[in-house]
Amino acid sequence: MVTKQFDCPSCAAQLHYDPSQGAPTCPYCGFVATMETTVEDKQKAVEELDLYAYLEKADAGEATSETQESLVVKCEACYAESTLIEGQLTAECPFCGTQIVTQSQSKRMLRPRAVLPFTVTDKKGHDLWQDWIKSLWFAPNKLKETVKYADKLQGIYIPYWTFDAKTDTKYSGERGDISYVKINGKKVPKIKWSNASGEVWLEFDDVIVIASHGVPHKYAERLVPWKLEELVPYDDHYLSGFKAEAYQVDLRAGFAKGQEFMEATIDKMVRKDIGGEQQRIHNKHTEYSDVTFKHILLPIWISAYRFNDKVYQFLVNGQTGRVQGERPWSWVKISLLVLTIAAIAAAAVLIGRYSRYR
């Protein structure tokens, strides 16, 4: 997503949003722009849209106040999608740096409703990454000694969906209660199964789903928690000096992913409702109501480091500073741990045998 640029009123240089100031600043003359967020603004930022009503209009091809026509291009190297401003012919992929020179496609897309501004600076992000490197277990000794610098951190706003929903689930299954019976003088567990059925109700708030293919989901999903209560209404000023990605996971696919999370939580609640030591779920039907959503942008620092001629990518939560990413392993240390555990287990068996024959 290509964002607007803002000129400094003092020296005409471009303003960049400074996480340490919480406002756009001029890197040359030090001018700090004023940005105020009222209580009403914050309430507006967390307002939800009706999911089914929006999808019905989208399927009918109706334009709404929440959508805009965007020129979208796809990076052929990493498949991330970006938007172009009118008249722009090329763009640099915000994830891999590849120059994108291709025919753009016009798409009707939802505008971001809210944004979570960066509060972690690039320098702080680098320091937090270094702390993370030093904290890694079973890492090669040389890693902590030699890896001191990463590629320049790239600040990117990543698209997300959030979903709220009420669920009503009817189920049938079996409850397993364990009792003990004596067989040849030994107590043996026996499970008694009985039929069970019932109904559970749950409410979900801000189930978060990443709408990007540009960042590795495995690590991005571990950047939680996000303090979504600090969301502010979308404003291009927050994005000045940063890059932002257009969503690639559409709303319908995003809700399907959100439902996977909800269904896993519902399963746990059903098992709790059945009770007993073990549970079997034979049938389960869930109805969703009052389903609402938001399209938001969340801040992530992205970079990579090199170790033994291999590149490892990592992410930093631009709000909390939490770090996740790829890392090398010391298989020597892991092998020694496995051998130590095996030796302790063998020693315990020998001690047990010796004790029996004394």
In this structure, are residues 96 and 106 in contact, taking their beta carbons and an 8 Å threshold? no
Give start and end residues of each alpha helix (H) in 208-328: 217-220, 236-239, 251-274
What pLDDT does 85 receive? 47
What pLDDT does 82 receive? 61
CB-based contacts of 213, cutoff 8 Å, min separation 6? 79, 80, 81, 248, 249
Q: Where are the beta strands (DSSP E) in 135-259?
A: 154-183, 186-210, 232-233, 243-244
In this structure, are residues 95 and 214 in contact, taking their beta carbons and an 8 Å threshold? yes
d(CA 333, CA 139): 8
The pLDDT of residue 123 is above 90: yes
What pLDDT does 288 receive? 97
Rounded to the nearest 10 degrees, the angle between the axes of helix 51-59 and helix 251-274 is: 150
In this structure, are residues 226 and 298 in contact, taking their beta carbons and an 8 Å threshold? yes
Average pLDDT of the chain to the nearest whole number? 86
What pLDDT does 324 receive? 96
Least Cα distance to 5 among 26, 22, 19, 35 occurs for 26
Beta partners for residue 101, in sequence order: 90
End-to-end CA distance of the chain: 76
In this structure, are residues 28 and 10 in contact, taking their beta carbons and an 8 Å threshold? no
C-alpha radius of gyration, the chain, whole number: 27
What pLDDT does 91 receive? 60
pLDDT one-digit tens code per residue, 20-53: 999 999 988 989 988 877 667 677 767 889 999 9
94-108, 239-253, 276-290: segment of lowest average pLDDT: 94-108
User: Strands 278-307 and 154-183, how do they pair?
Assistant: antiparallel
d(CA 267, CA 259): 12
What pLDDT does 264 receive? 96
Q: What mean pLDDT is predicted for residues 119-134?
A: 95
User: Strands 278-307 and 67-74, how do they pair?
Assistant: unpaired
Q: What mean pLDDT is predicted for residues 194-216?
A: 95
Place of tokens 């040359």: 28
pLDDT one-digit tens code per residue, 272-295: 999 999 999 999 999 999 999 999
Q: What is the DSSP letter of 14?
A: B
What pLDDT does 319 receive? 96
The pLDDT of residue 124 is above 90: yes
Q: What mean pLDDT is predicted for residues 238-242?
A: 87
Q: What mean pLDDT is predicted for residues 309-336?
A: 92
Instruction: Report the run of H or E that residue 68 belongs to, with start and end.
Output: strand 67-74
The pLDDT of residue 358 is above 80: no
For the stretch 6-10, contacts whose Cβ atoms lie closer than 8 Å and that sit 24 or more positions apart, written own/partner, are 6/33, 6/236, 6/237, 6/240
What pLDDT does 86 receive? 45
Q: What mean pLDDT is predicted for residues 61-67?
A: 73
In this structure, are residues 202 and 265 in contact, taking their beta carbons and an 8 Å threshold? yes
d(CA 350, CA 28): 73
pLDDT bin (cut points 50, 70, 90) of residue 99 is: low
Cα 75 vs. chain centroid, distance in angstroms? 22
pLDDT one-digit tens code per residue, 132-144: 999 999 989 899 8
The pLDDT of residue 69 is above 50: yes
- For 336, phi then psi, to 5°, come to -65, -40
What pLDDT does 269 receive? 97
Least Cα distance to 314 among 325, 323, 305 occurs for 325
